[in-house]
Amino acid sequence: MKRSIYRFAPPSVLVATLIALYFEYTNGTMDVEDFVSLPAVAGWCLAFTYVAYRKPEHLRKFEIATFLFLCLHHLYRFYFIVHGKFGAGHHDLNEYTFWIPFFYICGFLILDKTMALRVSLAVFTATVFIGAGRFWVDPSGAGAILDVILQFYISNVVYIVALYYLYYAVEANVQSEEYQRMAFTDFLTRLPNRRQLEEWMAAEIGAVRERRTPLSVALIDIDCFKQINDAYGHDAGDAVLVRFAAFLSERIRGGDSVGRWGGEEFLVVMRRTELGDAAAFAERLRADLEREPFPEAGRVTASFGLAQLGGGEELFSLLKRADQALYVSKSEGRNRVTAL
């Protein structure tokens, strides 16, 4: 996301800077401060755009350098406005205030929340000292410009506080989403876990009853998994689980869902699928699995237990019947498909 912003923001600032240069040059209003600062900003934006598009591996170093440049430019420009043009016409400070949010946004975009707050407050404190120095050197006429500079400082405080809490809210939301994802995802295989599958199926059963469409499930158990762990070690067993999860994920049909039910058991939810079609699909999976290479453990097979949701049936009953079908497959020699 940051890279996308960097591909948009620097070129936009570059265009705005070039427009300012053009009008100040053609109107004859360019002074020493603009003569130095505007070309510097334009050049830096051009360099940043080049790095964002062509040298993304250097982006982190360049964004830190960019923020330091912005800090210096901000203080430089504020000093010249307050100690130079400000006495003649304080509209320059009003115009410059438009760009202050951009400076603070860059800080919170580039740095972490705490460091961005510290740097923003440090730069803000420096502007307070610069403003105080202006009134110390020339206290005459302070009343005419005091209102403008106080509004400038107040707006800066508002920007800093608002961005800090916005950053905090976004960060908290991201963490909440990550915790939720972890709560519903199996750590090893990265598939949905049993909790997620149960929630999905509970919602799906309600939808199936409204639509009056079929729903079938397949409970799949890796055959002789304990022997794999005993013979090759638990690391090999984990590798088999990961590879088996990838095998199922690659072969399920669009609209179906797969997750880890627990241990070496996996569950496939087949929407809009009659039991006969589900059994045919499971048989193809079983046959493909026999040919699938598992370097960690040699040949791997699995047993399948299938069931279709009956009229008025609840989730617990559906899963119990799938488990009974799986038991039949295992008791009859494993590596087979049973549908009940």
24 is catalytic: no
CB distance 140 to 146 below 8 Å: no
Strand 337-339 vs strand 302-308: parallel, antiparallel, or unpaired? parallel
Nearest to 132 by CA among 118, 117, 153, 104: 153
CB distance 275 to 307 below 8 Å: yes
Token pair belonging to 76: 């430089």
First CA to last CA across the chain, in angstroms? 49
Catalytic residue (one of 264, 274, 290, 313): 264
Output DSSP code: residue 62: H
Q: From the CB of residue 230, how many other CB atoms can be counted at a distance below 10 Å?
A: 11
How many angstroms separate the most distant Cα atoms in the chain? 101
- Cα gap 128→28, rounded to integer Å: 31
- Give the residue numbers marked as catalytic: 264
